[in-house]
A and B are shown apart, each in its own frame.
Chain A
Amino acid sequence: MSPEISRREFLCVVAGCAAAAAAGGCSDVTHTPYFRDNFRDLSKDEVAALVADLERDLSAKYGKDVEVSAQGPRAGVQFAYALDISRCIGCRRCVYGCVEENNQSRDPQVHWIRVLEMDKERGIDFHEANPYYDAETVPRPGHFYLPVACQQCENPPCVKSCPVGATWRDDDGIVVIDYDWCIGCRCCVSACPYGARRFNWGEPTLPAEEMNPKVHVLGNRPRQKGCVEKCTFCVHRVREGRYPRCVEVCPTGARKFGNLLDPSSEIRYVLEHKRVVVLKNELNTRPRFFYFFG
């Protein structure tokens, strides 16, 4: 192997450039995704600068006014989700609502929600589940449907597996990813028992006219090739008090969302009045995503 320039030469050039930039008072370099710190270590000013940079770059790239938020968790809020298995008909409206809302890559296709079709006689059986079902109309007789996305575990294996600390659980219970800090090793993808994390194998494509201009730094801002992404409970919406998109597009109203600490919330009503299951309870991941029988 004979590289065009040696490692030593390359490092010298990089160091030289950095020194020159620092000496010249050029601070811009610290805000580019490759040079900034982990999101959690940024000061308020650095976050503001990052937001401004993202707004400028994304607005230019997509030709519209992109509004970037870095809103943090609210005190006294613990988010949780509940899905009524007896209502879901497997129509996948949530899947595509999520894609539109969260700026997922259209090609290569990235879906954060996977709807599993299961046999009523077998019950919940991941081995036999089919996410690729197609039919004239759903629900198909003899089947039920189990949409699976990130379970926002209280004890998340993905966070433990990340070697660089690019993913963590925020104080309101949402597991988020710093897309710029992610090194693309995919340890979290294999650590997740729910198959909820997606890797950008190729350069994501997102038509400018379909791009949702209301984005969050840790949520639905357009991602780049080589980083991992997943459901964030629509962090850009829920931290403003709105429902996640999938809750609002579900035609049967099977999806429920709210604050676990609010006794009058829908989620507390579900937990207190319905039969509730979590997936793979035996793994002690303690999901914040509950399935119930309405």
Chain B
Amino acid sequence: MTSPRPAARPLAPTALVALVVALATTGCGEPAVHAPLPQAPAADGAAVVPVDEMKFEVPPPPFSSPDVFPCSECHDAELPPNPKRRALTMAHEDVVLHHDEEHRWCLDCHDAQDRDMLRLANGTLVRFEESYRLCGQCHGDKYRDWRAGVHGRRTGSWDGPKQYLLCVHCHNSHAPRFKPIPPRPAPVRPGSIR
């Protein structure tokens, strides 16, 4: 495994790739890397980061209220997981699933044991900050575009650091269709300009 290059060349793709590898393997808690799409091996033979280990710097996930996380505050030993499909009545009444609801259910994405984590189909637990990996399991084409900076909004620099958003910043994960919004005023017709 290649060690990270000195920070003198923070934008060089090889250094970025190496840095991502280092972060992923050391479990460093600061995923402050804007990993670009390049998948081809770097010129000097640095290892390529597998797609599912790419990390992106994102703002905190938009929980429905600030005190809802960590989930384990309520989902503790006294509240054993109930794997039955049902309408939620004790809490989370606001969660109405409109996301392939015929086939999906809370515990397809939320881990039954560790409620503070999300769960991929292969059993891997991911943090809410990496929920794009969860969404990307089904929406692979969108995930690919998102990683390239083409799906979703980017801010920052066209030739430098960009800020990514999580899928759930724009799409409610339980009802993901983008909601209609009021438009800004129509332009004045030329005849009305004085």
The number of chain A residues with a CB under 8 A from chain B is 46
Does B68 belong to the interface (CB within 8 Å)? no
Contact, CB under 8 Å: A294 / B180:
no
Does B183 belong to the interface (CB within 8 Å)? yes
Sorting the interface of chain B by its residue count into under 10, 10 to 19, 20 to 34 or 35 or more gives 20 to 34
**A108-B193, A109-B188, A250-B153 given; A265·B183 CB < 8 A:** no
Within the complex, the shortest CB–CB distance from A92 to chain B, in Å, comes to: 4
Contact, CB under 8 Å: A294 / B159:
no
Chain A residues proximal to chain B, CB less than 8 Å? 84, 89-93, 95-96, 108-109, 111, 114, 131-139, 201-202, 238, 241-243, 247-248, 250-253, 256-259, 262, 264-266, 269-270, 273-274, 294
Does B42 belong to the interface (CB within 8 Å)? no
Contacts of A256 on B, CB cut-off 8 Å? 149-150, 154
Interface positions of B from 156 to 192, Cβ below 8 Å from A: 156-160, 170, 178, 180-189
Contact, CB under 8 Å: A266 / B148:
yes
Within the complex, the shortest CB–CB distance from A292 to chain B, in Å, comes to: 9
Taken together as a complex, chains A and B put the C-alpha atoms of A95 and B78 apart, in Å, by 54
Contacts of B183 on A, CB cut-off 8 Å? 90-92, 133-135, 137-138
Interface of A is mostly: loop
Contacts of B153 on A, CB cut-off 8 Å? 248, 250-253
Within the complex, the shortest CB–CB distance from B149 to chain A, in Å, comes to: 4
Taken together as a complex, chains A and B put the C-alpha atoms of A84 and B37 apart, in Å, by 19
Question: Among the listed A133, A135, A251, A253, which residue makes an inter-chain contact with B151, where contact means beta carbons less than 8 Å apart?
Answer: A253
Contact, CB under 8 Å: B156 / A242:
yes
Contacts of B185 on A, CB cut-off 8 Å? 92, 134
* 27 A-B pairs (CB sep. < 8 Å): A91-B183, A95-B187, A96-B184, A109-B187, A109-B188, A133-B186, A134-B185, A137-B182, A139-B180, A201-B193, A202-B193, A241-B158, A241-B159, A243-B154, A243-B155, A243-B156, A243-B158, A252-B170, A253-B152, A262-B159, A266-B158, A269-B145, A270-B150, A273-B145, A273-B150, A294-B150, A294-B151
